[in-house]
Amino acid sequence: MARLQRSAPAGIPVHLLQRGNNRQACFINNGDYAAYLWWLREYSEKYQVEIHCWALLENHIHLLCTPQLEGGLSSMIQALGRQYVRYFNRRHQRTGTLWEGRYRSCMVQPERYLLEVCRYIELNPARLKSPANPADYNWSSYQNNALGKPSALCRPHAEYLKQGESKAERTAGYRELCAQSPSTKELKEIRDSINKGLAFGDESFKMELEKVTGRRVRALKSGRPFGWRKQK
């Protein structure tokens, strides 16, 4: 099945997933994680992409971000990928590709859905048991969004800011959200959306995106289309 053409209109949040080639490690030590985040900040500023949350795992990354310019997200990921691969190959004395083809992405409806994706991303290390407490993991934005740790990279989305008037209220509200385990249905919907390149949101949001982008963002119905059988 052909993959859907990607689209990232300005102002629409995007959940992005990129894996190491053949699921090999793309981070080996703390210096690798720190280098990636350094260049993520540099290129997100250059291409005007706001980074709301992230989780860097040994063999893949998750980002939730909002491009402010059309084409900004692709430009950021391409520049970041090239820079990081050069660094990684030189540091670890290797050659060849590092990433698994093109990255995967899906657009996210801000209202009701964006914070669910934030929670999914930042709890990803805990789901993998490395470590079980997300506050103990240094390479995600949980410490920024849930504990208030200062960050030059993290740009809180307006939906996050609605958690409270003060920083203390917002972090407390977000911790309360993260303490609630997402349902199996929610996890499946988020995973299906990112893996299939579909939008994550309600039907009206998806219909509006299809009008704006001219591409399908909803799953096709299973089975043969109505009227497929030719009349004899």
pLDDT tens per residue, range 90-127: 999 999 999 998 899 999 999 999 999 999 999 999 88
Q: With contact defined as beta carbons under 8 Å apart, do 146 and 134 qualify?
A: yes
How many Cβ atoms sit within 10 Å of the Cβ of residue 102? 13
pLDDT tens-digit series, residues 16-41: 999 999 989 999 999 999 999 999 99
- The span from the CA of 27 to the CA of 151, in Å, is 21
Assigned CATH class of 14-206:
alpha beta
Residues 142-162, mean pLDDT to the nearest whole number:
97
Reported as a pLDDT band with limits 50, 70 and 90, residue 218 is confident
Reported as a pLDDT band with limits 50, 70 and 90, residue 86 is very high
Reported as a pLDDT band with limits 50, 70 and 90, residue 74 is very high
Query: What predicted TM-score, i.e. pTM, was given to this entire model?
Result: 0.90
